[in-house]
Structure 1
């Protein structure tokens, strides 16, 4: 029988500044929570500019960090990192290689990128005390195909990159609108060769019958209603679920991580396809499911006695102050979740400690400079964060109680 153990999970860490020299008691207070758990997990929302170099592959939203940020995360108490996200390929394959090298040097449990697809999709394992933990991390985009890892084939080299959960976006259109769109396409129809030229570096999307059209890279489908749907590729999902089942069958505690930017118009809403996939992961044997992408708190669900954190927002968020898209206050509020498991591996307790990323003063007054780290919230601020999370989680049959500024989930 496995020994009791605990896991701390936080929002994503978009870290660009080294925090090791900081001795602020508010930062130490946060670090003590992380260090109190056997496993402390975050998503490294950047790529490391290290020995292998690399070149920026993005415009405005490019981001990379020096290796020193990893030592800073280690000093904070983190020992487990997801690496699959939209910034992991910002320096191309060299960034993937440097990131792998540097996180290994710091002895993190890490997963989600690799030298080829097999490596990127592999569950990485580590002993924490007497408990073997397996981590599987994946990204569902949207992003160009070249950022995802690929195995070598005849005449084609392997590509270092990210473990991909293949997801496609399909727009359902009523027949009248669909026919108009189809007529526009027919009017400007070009030769197969010209379409291939414009498709580079991507391949054209696959279509399923005459009721679907590829309208310059976006698939539209004739339907009785108008809707936007995200479709998870069955083969891609099956491969991920098989890996989960394999590790669970070896008595590992499996942490599954999903990163995606297929957000709903309300960032705090959980997409239905993510909920369905999370349930599939738990059914396959996951002991904990964590997701990031939308930079806000989303609902928490307990499914088959397994915690599902649909979105923990941010933990470290080193952005430029003039980036106005991150101005909503919800972007700067989150929680640190600590999950306690008994000797049989059964979930016994979840504690939620509300935090404010960048400091409370900067949240209340935009003229103030943000701190480069989160602080614990208290009083009305803490209650407000937890009450909002409790309200969003009720649709998932999750009951969250408040106790002196700390949230607890009834099991």
Structure 2
């Protein structure tokens, strides 16, 4: 029998050193990561090596750029592979992507999700251990236009970038509401400005059918009941699935990592397209889907006896300790001549009164350790993580196993988030939790 263990985590935004501190529970967390056969994190920082230039509005303020030495810190924590597809991957443009690729290759750290062209970004990376092998595919649904990698043509090379999972949103409106939107379209003059497009195309691109309208960059669809939904881009879904099928043939376990900030009806709920994506890649052969992006925990689902973690929050968060800020970002906070990184992040967060600092859930997360016997999931142990909510900016953001009281609160929250998916979490007395399941659970969508 082949037994393999996999430790998972969310976003790793490391910009300084000593990620494992002397705090109680920190060394124990490192032991959890190091004793697993495979330990995954999402590397959401650009380890700048000299190439690249800051991208305008890379992430609405606050580029995540650090010294290349942070990679050694991440490996020192116990992580053995990283996903790189996320909305900060191109904070230094394509030059920064190529720098990251070269650095990780030089250090022989398995990574997926970015590359010199679309095929390189889509490909799985294979990680081999004495007990077995694992394939990792990394993609992102959150990115700016042009950050996605592109394929070469017969005439031009491909574009470096990330592995994209594009999606579309549709607002369902009643027929009467659609009529109102059409009135707005006509009476404001928007329709008249599409005259050239209608002449060239032979139809109005904003009204492809009587029951659909695209207005203000949003798609509207006539329906009996108003609502909002998102769906995956079919081409991206098919292309990522193709690589999942390839990975299934070549490794004992297959992980698909997906970075997605987009919410569903609530911030704790994933967008509808994400569940569609997770089910499809499991149908094609993935053993684990691990999500991250919104910087808080979301629920967990078992689908066909395969785990889907819709978001594992953060494992390291040192955004406010980043030491390289672009001129454009400085202007957003009115720093004037007092342009230093500390002042910038202080103004950006209103000195701890907004963004992430005042929200406890941002500073709490989980590290699940999954056990597989001959490719079948047999156990999931949940390790609650404390990132130091309320501590000074230079101390918080580095992880340790949570103490008993905090651990129970984190696990209770996770159990609540998992319940709508039919997943039961048992909260133990030792500061860890376990996923309760049987061989019939999750066989249908």
Q: Same fold (TM over 0.5)?
A: yes
Mapping of 1:71-86 within 5 angstroms? 71-86=72-87
Equivalent residue for 1:379, pick from 404, 416, 427: 404
The structure-2 alpha-carbon separation of the partners of 1:172 and 1:330, relative to structure 1 and needing over 3 Å to count, comes to same
**Structure 1 position 221 matched with structure 2 position 221:** yes
Equivalent residue for 2:432, pick from 391, 394, 406: 406
- Distance in 2 of aligned mates of 1:293 and 1:21: 22
User: CA shift at 1:18, angstroms?
Assistant: 2.5
Which residue does 2:382 correspond to in 1?
352
The structure-2 alpha-carbon separation of the partners of 1:369 and 1:49, relative to structure 1 and needing over 3 Å to count, comes to closer
Which residue does 1:164 correspond to in 2?
164
**Structure 1 position 62 matched with structure 2 position 63:** yes
- Distance in 1 of aligned mates of 2:130 and 2:207: 50
Equivalent residue for 1:325, pick from 351, 355, 363: 355
Task: Indicate if the aligned counterparts of 1:20 and 1:71 stay in contact, CA closer than 8 A.
Answer: no
Q: Deviations over 1:226-268 (max 9, x none)?
A: 2111111222211111211122123441110111121135221
Which residue does 2:248 correspond to in 1?
248
Task: Indicate if the aligned counterparts of 1:17 and 1:372 stay in contact, CA closer than 8 A.
Answer: no
- Distance in 2 of aligned mates of 1:38 and 1:248: 18
TM-score, normalising length from structure 1?
0.89
Q: Deviations over 1:251-302 (max 9, x none)?
A: 4411101111211352212333322321221111111110111111111222
Structure 1 ranges of 4+ moved more than 6 A: 193-196, 204-207
Which residue does 1:6 correspond to in 2?
5
- Distance in 2 of aligned mates of 1:194 and 1:356: 57
Q: Secondary structure at the match of 1:373?
A: coil
Task: Indicate if the aligned counterparts of 2:298 and 2:309 stay in contact, CA closer than 8 A.
Answer: yes
Q: How many residues align?
A: 396
The structure-2 alpha-carbon separation of the partners of 1:205 and 1:244, relative to structure 1 and needing over 3 Å to count, comes to farther
Mapping of 1:91-110 within 5 angstroms? 91-110=92-111
Mapping of 1:163-182 within 5 angstroms? 163-182=163-182
Gaps of 5+ in 2: 199-203, 321-344, 438-445
The structure-2 alpha-carbon separation of the partners of 1:193 and 1:174, relative to structure 1 and needing over 3 Å to count, comes to closer
Of the structure 1 ranges 19-28 and 6-15, higher mean CA displacement relative to structure 2 is found in: 19-28
Gaps of 5+ in 1: 197-203
- Distance in 1 of aligned mates of 2:4 and 2:217: 47
User: CA shift at 1:144, angstroms?
Assistant: 2.9
Which residue does 1:306 correspond to in 2?
306
TM-score, normalising length from structure 2?
0.83
Q: Deviations over 1:87-137 (max 9, x none)?
A: 111111001101111122222221111111111111111212241211111
Of the structure 1 ranges 209-218 and 99-108, higher mean CA displacement relative to structure 2 is found in: 209-218
Task: Indicate if the aligned counterparts of 1:57 and 1:91 stay in contact, CA closer than 8 A.
Answer: no
- Distance in 2 of aligned mates of 1:386 and 1:114: 37
Which residue does 2:370 correspond to in 1?
339
Mapping of 1:91-240 within 5 angstroms? 91-141=92-142, 143-186=143-186, 187-189=188-190, 191-192=193-194, 208-240=208-240
Equivalent residue for 2:416, pick from 384, 391, 403: 391
Task: Indicate if the aligned counterparts of 1:205 and 1:217 stay in contact, CA closer than 8 A.
Answer: no
CA RMSD of aligned residues (A): 2.5
The structure-2 alpha-carbon separation of the partners of 1:368 and 1:67, relative to structure 1 and needing over 3 Å to count, comes to closer
